[in-house]
Amino acid sequence: MSDKIIFHQYEISPFSEKVRIIFGIKGIEWHAVDQPVIMPKPDLVCLTGGYRKIPVMQIGADIYCDSQIIVRELERRFPTTALPDGNGLGAALGFWTDREVFQANVAITFGSIGEHVDESFKKDREALSGRSFNTDEMKQAVPIMLEQMRAHLAMLESQLADGRKFLLGDKPGLTDASAYYNIWFARAANPDGGDLFDSFKAVQAWELRVRNIGHGTRHEMSTEDAIAIAKDATSTAYEQEDPHEPNGLKPGMAVQVMADDYGRDPIAGTLVSSSASQIAIRRSDDRVGEVVVHFPRAGFWVLPG
C-alpha cells in the first residue's frame, strides 16, 4: 500500500507554502498534485467530500484537510524531525498568522492588484467568503490595513531583535513557516508592492533564512494517479471513542464537519475517531472508494449528520 505523501496544492497558494516550508524543515519527500485555483475542483472534492480549500494532504486513503491537521499528522509520522513548536504554541500562533495577519495581507494584496484580477476569480472568492469582492472598497481599506500589517511585522522584528536565527531560537519551526508564508505571498502576488518590509531589517534577514530552507524533495503527480492510489488503499485510521467529548460524539455517528470561517461547505460522514485536536470521518465516493477524511477541531464545527 502506498504511503507516499501526496500534497494537493497550487503554486501561489499561501497555506501550501506554509506546508512546503514544513516539508523543507523536516526533509520530507512528497508528491505535488496541482489543483485548480477556483471551482470546480472535481478531482479534489471527490477525495474530501466537498472541502474545496487548499492545501489537502493524502496518504493512501487518508485525506487531511487544513494545514493545521496536515502539520499535526506530519509531526506524528516523522517524530525524529519533530518541530520545536509543532503542536503547542506554534499551533496556537497559527490562529494569529492564518486569520489576523492573513486577512490584513489579503486586503492589502487584492486592494493593490484588484483591477488585474479575473472576474471569474472574484466571483469564486465571493462564493467562498459570502462577501462581495469589491476592488474599490478593498483599495480604500489598503491604508488602514497597511498599518495593521506593519504592526504585526513589528512584532516579528522585536522577536528577532536579539539576533536569533529563527523566531523561537536556533531551529526553525511551525511559527517560522506560518509567519513566513504571509510575506512570501505578499511578495509573490504583488511584486511591485512597495516598501512595506524595507524598514524591518531583521525580518528581511530571517525571511531569506527561511526561504533557503527550501521545500524538501518534491515530485509531481497527476490527479488521476492520486485518485487511483486512494481507490487501491485502505485507511489506517481506527475507531476510538474519546470519553471527554463534550457533546457525546461516538464512533459510528453520522456527522457533518465544516470550517467556521470561509469555505464552509459541510462534509458528511460517519465518525471514526475524535479528540480535542482532531476528528476523522469515513465516507465513500464512486471514484475514490472508501476514504477517511481528517480535520482539526480548532476552527471547525461538528454538527449532527
- Using CB under 6 A, pick the residue from 6, 7, 15, 278 that binds ligand GSH: 15
Are the C-beta atoms of 29 and 85 separated by less than 8 Å?
no
Candidate segments 9-17, 24-32, 142-150, 245-253, binder of ligand GSH by CB under 6 A = 9-17
- Using CB under 6 A, pick the residue from 14, 24, 111, 172 that binds ligand GSH: 14
Strands in 217-220's sheet, in edge-to-edge order, are 217-220, 29-34, 6-9, 56-59, 62-65, 289-296, 278-285, 267-274, 254-259, 300-304
Question: Should residue 90 be labelled a site residue for ligand GSH when binding is judged by CB under 6 A?
Answer: no
Sign of CA dihedral 211, 80, 75, 33: positive
- Using CB under 6 A, pick the residue from 98, 101, 174, 210 that binds ligand GSH: 98
Q: Least CB distance from residue 13 to ligand GSH, whole Å?
A: 4
- Could you tell me whether strands 267-274 and 62-65 are parallel, antiparallel, or unpaired per DSSP bridges? unpaired
Question: Should residue 109 be labelled a site residue for ligand GSH when binding is judged by CB under 6 A?
Answer: no
Per-residue binder mask for ligand GSH (CB under 6 A), 146-165, x = binder: --------------------
Say how far apart CA 272 and CA 269 lie, in whole Å: 9
Say how far apart CA 133 and CA 113 lie, in whole Å: 12
Q: Least CB distance from residue 157 to ligand GSH, whole Å?
A: 25
Per-residue binder mask for ligand GSH (CB under 6 A), 48-87, x = binder: ----xxxx----------xxx-------------------
Are the C-beta atoms of 253 and 270 separated by less than 8 Å?
yes
- Using CB under 6 A, pick the residue from 46, 113, 127, 128 that binds ligand GSH: 128
Q: Least CB distance from residue 299 to ligand GSH, whole Å?
A: 6
Candidate segments 12-20, 132-140, 157-165, 195-203, binder of ligand GSH by CB under 6 A = 12-20
Say how far apart CA 199 and CA 201 lie, in whole Å: 6
Are the C-beta atoms of 294 and 280 separated by less than 8 Å?
yes
The secondary structure element, H or E, covering residue 285 is strand 278-285
Per-residue binder mask for ligand GSH (CB under 6 A), 234-253, x = binder: --------------------
Q: Could you report how far apart the first and last alpha carbons of the chain are, in Å?
A: 31
All cell numbers assigned to 109? 494584496
Q: Least CB distance from residue 10 to ligand GSH, whole Å?
A: 7
* C-beta of 54 vs 210, nearer to ligand GSH: 54
Residues 190-229 that bind ligand GSH (CB under 6 A): none
Residue 189 CB neighbour total at 10 angstroms: 18
Q: Least CB distance from residue 275 to ligand GSH, whole Å?
A: 19
Question: Should residue 26 be labelled a site residue for ligand GSH when binding is judged by CB under 6 A?
Answer: no
Say how far apart CA 4 and CA 16 lie, in whole Å: 17
The residue ranges that bind ligand GSH (CB under 6 A) are: 13-16, 37, 52-55, 66-68, 98, 128
